[in-house]
């Protein structure tokens, strides 16, 4: 089920109309700065029912609810996205297919991102690359937000996949945290997840907590920094 959106708080002199929400970068920055809770759009690159990467997202959501104030996980399901095909755009008055529009809205409304993905053939999983590509279609809905990457994969912990996601993020204008790195050897030397894909390893849980805290701090820096730049005219 879709996670409820966080409540926005506005000062008395702030406008709350949708037109202002969709306006200049300065106005968007003001709205984001007024938030008491940052929304993290979390995407699993694996569609498997018992995916350990989806398990990392569930663990992150529980952590945020219980002990990390100021973050709320919105687990964005990408299983209904069609394969990228620009012939599906601008059909019957719709810019994108319905599933793509919903996905893009969720991404657009997020304050930062968490990608949890396995490594497939030394690179990004197909479902995640497809989602990244759909979000990049004009206008790019990924831009100018903080991001973090975790990977539950084989012995390498998904390093090569994570670095390729970072490379794609350069073009998409996603700003990734550098430390800590979230490489999890899912079943080496022992399994860190149960049969349902739920995280059961305390050490991995602590690593995930540190990543979320780093993401929160970096996202806030970007939001406040962008607001200051816009107000000083440096964002033009």
Measured CA to CA, the distance from residue 35 to residue 8 in angstroms comes to 5
The predicted model gives 210-224 an average pLDDT of 96
pLDDT of residue 231: 52
pLDDT of residue 225: 82
Measured CA to CA, the distance from residue 15 to residue 36 in angstroms comes to 17
Task: Write down the domain spans for the chain.
Answer: 18-232
Q: CA–CA distance from 173 to each of 77, 170, 224 (Å)? A: 22, 5, 17
pLDDT (tens digit per residue) in 147-180: 999 999 988 889 899 999 999 999 999 999 999 9
Are 177 and 211 contacting, i.e. CB atoms less than 8 angstroms apart? yes
At residue 3, φ and ψ (nearest 5 deg) are -70, 140
pLDDT (tens digit per residue) in 92-144: 889 999 999 999 999 999 999 999 999 999 999 999 999 999 999 999 999 99
Measured CA to CA, the distance from residue 122 to residue 114 in angstroms comes to 20
Q: Bridge-partner residues for 113, per DSSP?
A: 41, 147
Q: Which two tokens stand for residue 6?
A: 């966080």
* Radius of gyration of the chain measured on its C-alpha atoms: 18
pLDDT of residue 34: 60
Q: CA–CA distance from 53 to each of 76, 83, 157, 170, 182 (Å)? A: 13, 21, 11, 23, 11
Measured CA to CA, the distance from residue 14 to residue 30 in angstroms comes to 8
Query: Where do the DSSP E strands lie in 129-234?
Result: 145-153, 174-176, 182-185
Residue 188 banded pLDDT, cuts 50, 70, 90:
confident
**Average pLDDT over the chain, rounded to an integer:** 86
Q: CA–CA distance from 147 to each of 40, 87, 160, 217 (Å)? A: 9, 30, 17, 11
pLDDT of residue 19: 31
pLDDT (tens digit per residue) in 196-213: 999 999 999 999 999 999
Give the fold, CATH level 3, of 18-232. Rossmann fold (3.40.50)
Residue 216 banded pLDDT, cuts 50, 70, 90:
very high
């Amino acid at each position: 089920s879709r996670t409820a959106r966080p409540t926005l708080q506005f000062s008395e002199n702030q406008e709350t109309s949708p037109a202002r929400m969709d306006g200049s970068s300065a106005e968007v920055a003001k709205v984001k700065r007024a938030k008491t809770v940052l929304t993290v759009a979390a995407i699993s690159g694996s569609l498997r029912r018992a995916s350990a990467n989806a398990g990392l997202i569930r663990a992150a959501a529980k952590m945020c609810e219980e002990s990390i104030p100021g973050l709320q996980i919105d687990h964005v399901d990408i299983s209904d996205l069609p394969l990228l095909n620009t012939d599906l755009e601008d059909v019957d008055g719709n810019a994108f297919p319905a599933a793509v529009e919903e996905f893009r809205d969720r991404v657009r409304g997020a304050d930062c991102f968490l990608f949890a993905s396995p490594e497939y053939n030394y690179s990004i999983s197909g479902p995640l690359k497809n989602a990244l590509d759909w979000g990049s279609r004009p206008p790019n809905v990924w831009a100018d937000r903080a991001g973090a990457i975790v990977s539950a994969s084989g012995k390498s912990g998904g390093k090569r996949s994570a670095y390729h996601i970072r490379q794609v993020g350069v073009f998409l204008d996603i700003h990734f945290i550098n430390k800590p790195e979230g490489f999890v050897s899912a079943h080496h030397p022992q399994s860190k997840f149960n049969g349902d894909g739920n995280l059961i390893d305390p050490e991995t849980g602590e690593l995930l907590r540190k990543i979320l805290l780093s993401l929160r701090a970096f996202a806030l820096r970007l939001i406040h920094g962008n607001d200051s730049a816009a107000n000083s005219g440096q964002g033009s």
